[in-house]
Amino acid sequence: MQAAMGTMDYIIDTVSAVHALAPLIGLLKLNGKLVTVGLPEKPLELPIFPLVLGRKLVGGSDIGGVKETQEMLDFCAKHNITSEIELIRMDYINTAMERIAKSDVRYRFVIDVGNSLTQ
């Protein structure tokens, strides 16, 4: 992460667990923006000095509408932006829930409904 410090215009933070914002803010360029869409159980600590000195902004959104979601998907497709996921079949859902309970999940689970129904 050190090599990426000060290189990003925008960051969309999807983490829903309590986590430090300072490292993410450090990744932003001058006038960079951090938008958090995850909803942690407890408030996050917001370091003010890096925001003010770097003219950086932090905002949040709980959800976008269909139009905004489509714009985001189009933007990601155009710029080859992908997310890291763990693709699972429907018959793995109970195991996935057990893994979530044990905090044994590195990426978000995505259920492959199409392939689950054909086999």
Q: Which of 15, 12, 18 is nearest to 58 (CA)?
A: 12
In one-letter notation, the amino acid at residue 74 is D
In one-letter notation, the amino acid at residue 92 is Y
Q: Where in the chain is the domain with CATH 3.40.50.720?
A: 1-79
pLDDT digits (tens, 9 = 90+) for 89-119: 989 999 999 999 998 988 889 989 888 766 5
pTM over 0.85: no
Q: Quick check: 21 and 45 in contact, CB under 8 A?
A: yes
In one-letter notation, the amino acid at residue 52 is V
Fold of 1-79: Rossmann fold (3.40.50)
